[in-house]
Amino acid sequence: MEQIIVQTKQGTVSGKKEGRFAAFKGIPYGKAERFRRAEMYRWDGVLDCTRFGKKAPQIPAPFPPREEPEPKENFGEDCLNLNIYTPDIDGSLPVLVDIHGGAFQNGSNQDHTPDHVVEDKDFVYVNLNYRLGVFGYLYLGHILGGEYQTSGNNGLTDQMLALRWVHENIRAFGGDPERVTVMGASAGAKSIAALMLLPESRTYFSQILLSSGAYQCVRSEETAEKVAKRYFERLKTDDPAEILTMDTDRLLEAQKELCASGESTCIFGPVADGAVIPYDWEKVLHSDRYWSGRALVGSCRGELAFYKFIDPDLTEHAPAIAEGLFGLNAETAKEDYERLCREAVQKNGTCDEEAKKDIWGKVLSDYMYRTYSSRLAKILEKNGSTVYKYSMEYAPAIHCLDQNLAFETKDGGEMLCQDEEMRQANLRVGQVIFEAYTNFICTGDPNGAGVPVWDRYRDTQDGEKRYLQMCWDTESKEAPEPEDDTLSGFPEQVYRL
């Protein structure tokens, strides 16, 4: 094994060659007491970073299904580590930091491989772990006092600490700290849009690549307190302080009960606590205090269309699904559903069961994702950012399909698709998206060989060129974003209790 030694500001690490990459795995960037904010970790001697570190404690995600449970020793609260893969340790290359998704409840820095994400491109690839579920986002300030005021943002401050670590050290791994792109899908994208509320974000990254997620995850203290109340009801303890020393498995079991509904996606997320995220975060969002830079953002046309395929009684169940996803905002979702049904009758003379399912698919998809991606693109365009926006139209255009085809299913989706022609079509669409996204990572511009012309997203006076977006499809091309493309009735906070 070829040993590669690198000196960082926090200590010395030892990695090894893996294919064309020098790989450094499980580098500890922070340490934290339970429910407390993490601090930078330092060590003496040479740290062996040839194996992955611990994953954050979590309830296994239902999909994709595992034949056997993952070994328990793979998880632990001491999980704040990152992986670095570099094709040229002596270079000065662009850097991609990947923040994984998973509803703020699942996932790890092992979800994506550098072979799939980087392929033959020249940039340094970093992926990181952060605390999840109750460990990362349970708000305890009102229960345990001011020492725990930031507990609802532990996952977010973990991410920022990792970005600071990268900023301070990535040059030693062949990366340029002034050319850092952060990428995320779903909860990863939501995390990044929340990080952009913090002043440090301007220092630690200059580009963002967000798929199927924006700032909608931020919730008020009131909502966070109600989530915590529901959690403690399931924890069944007379002394809330016991949570500080309670067995990890017991904490996870109570989280599992809290999230037993399939509509638990929005239960956890960053909190406007007045300490990490300001109470007036919505004003920050629309001011010059919000991050600006180069941005590539978008969503998928049928983000939650899978509900139609897995639930034959979707029309009956959708109101309850909306309540689980949106809380108090569900009333607006129901009103929009009724309005769209009436409009369908006026236009077509009828609104049958299939049409009703499609309408619910639009309502759920827009308010969970598309509405906020579109709003974020306009916010960034107005604050002077260079914005490239996309809409995934390639059927079935479900949640995060663009990144899935670009960076994950390099077999064309063989596990999910038995049709060879469709697999080949998936590969073709995925390759175009891959080229555009990696062009953006490397140069700040998605355009290049094999990518259709993609203009900036901006408010021009020319109606035909106003708010142009890329439409990923069998034949991808740019087109103006329809003015009524997404529903607009929700506030900035998607989940309210």
Residue pointed to by tokens 């180069």:
294
The burial of 323, by beta-carbon neighbours within 10 Å (0-12 exposed, 13-18 middle, 19 or more buried), is given as: middle
Tokens of 490: 């929700």
Q: Which domains does the chain have, with CATH numbers?
A: 3-308+368-480 (3.40.50.1820)
**Beta-sheet pairing, 81-86 with 46-48:** unpaired
Low-confidence ranges of the chain (pLDDT < 50): 412, 414-415
Asked if 380 and 288 touch (Cβ cutoff 8 Å), the reply is no
H or E element at residue 4: strand 3-7
Q: What are phi and psi of 286, to 5 degrees?
A: -105, 20
**Which whole-number Å values give the CA distances from 125 to 5, 182, 343, 386, in the listed order?**
18, 10, 48, 23
Q: Tell me which DSSP letter residue 145 carries.
A: -
CA distance 332 to 309: 24
Q: Give the Cα-Cα-Cα angle 250, 252, 254 (nearest 5 degrees).
A: 70
**Which whole-number Å values give the CA distances from 225 to 220, 229, 259, 268, 385, in the listed order?**
9, 6, 16, 11, 35
Q: Which of 445, 363, 373 is nearest to 402 (CA)?
A: 373
pLDDT at 445: 98
CA distance 32 to 28: 11
The b/e string for 131-156 (b: 16+ C-beta within 10 A; e otherwise) is: bbbbbbbbbbbebeeeebbbbbbbbb
Q: Which of 159, 170, 144, 167 is nearest to 92 (CA)?
A: 170
Helix, strand, coil % over all residues of the chain, rounded to 5? 40, 20, 40
Asked if 254 and 231 touch (Cβ cutoff 8 Å), the reply is yes
pLDDT at 476: 97
Tokens of 120: 């033959």
Q: Which of 204, 225, 202, 146 is nearest to 29 (CA)?
A: 204
- Helix and strand numbers, DSSP H then E, in the chain: 16, 17
**Computed over its alpha carbons, how large is the radius of gyration of the chain?**
22
3 state SS of 129 = coil
Asked if 387 and 422 touch (Cβ cutoff 8 Å), the reply is no
pLDDT at 459: 87
pLDDT at 71: 87
Beta bridge mates, 14: 5, 48
